[in-house]
Homo-oligomer: A and B are copies of this chain.
Amino acid sequence: MTTVQKQEQMYEGKAKKVFRTDDPNIYWIQYKDSATAFNGEKKAEIDNKGILNNRISALFFQYLEKQGVPTHFVELLNDREMLVKSLEIIPVEVVARNIVAGSLSKRIGQPEGTLLAKPVLEFYYKDDALGDPMINEYHIAALEWATPEQMDAIKAIALKVNEILKEFMDSLNIDLVDFKLEFGLHNGTVLLGDEISPDTCRFWDKDTKEKLDKDRFRRDLGGLEEAYREILRRLEGKLQD
């Protein structure tokens, strides 16, 4: 039941535009069809990607809220748009990993697909000009990107999201390999923000090992729209039980 009015655009990122509304507590997010990788070096427009990610993110956020995770999600508006709580984004991207893939495979010299004995969290300084460098909690504390108390909340939420989504995706016959989260402050409280979509997660079909995520774009595998559509199909199938 939208009663807020869309106002001027605040910023445009690589995948979304963020608008103010007449309520300072609420922002209006519009998902774009742009796909980017390697810090924006590789770019394309993918038909319907914005629509699919908007719907997929909404389903994930709703599911997480039901399990007690504090997210910015307020309401799905239409195909490409959702309302969210206004956040002051913390400039730390949090990656959670269950299976070795991508940069971690290169970093530690272990093949993609290696199971991790415990979930791994990684922290990256959200700064496109620096290429989102990996950092740790000491950097975050010393440079005051987040307080230790905020980091405790962030780590707890990230690990909880991982437990919930790992089990949920498992029930869709999908391995949750890894994913990236962003957090922000809303009236001083840490909330999970941004998006949860095949752009920000690695999803592998458990039987075929087929990649159902942005690696299809990064690695020129084709079939990106179909893969994202398959994720949405499985999510809707389960959540409309």
Could you say which residues of chain B place their CB within 8 Å of the CB of A117? 141-144
Residue pair A138, B120 in contact (C-beta under 8 Å): yes
Question: Which residues 6-48 of A have a CB within 8 angstroms of B?
Answer: none
* Secondary structure dominating the interface of A: mixed
Residue pair B142, A122 in contact (C-beta under 8 Å): no
Residue pair A142, B116 in contact (C-beta under 8 Å): yes
Is A102 part of the binding interface, using a Cβ–Cβ cutoff of 8 Å? no
Q: Whole-angstrom distance between the alpha carbons of A107 and B140 in the complex?
A: 13
Residue pair A138, B119 in contact (C-beta under 8 Å): yes
Residue pair A130, B144 in contact (C-beta under 8 Å): no
Q: Which residue of B120, B121, B139, B144 contacts A108 across the interface (Cβ within 8 Å)?
A: B139
The chain A residues found within 8 Å of chain B, CB to CB, are 107-109, 116-123, 125, 127, 129-130, 133-139, 141-144
A-B pairs with lowest CB-CB distance, top 7 = A120-B138, A116-B142, A118-B142, A107-B133, A136-B136, A121-B138, A120-B142
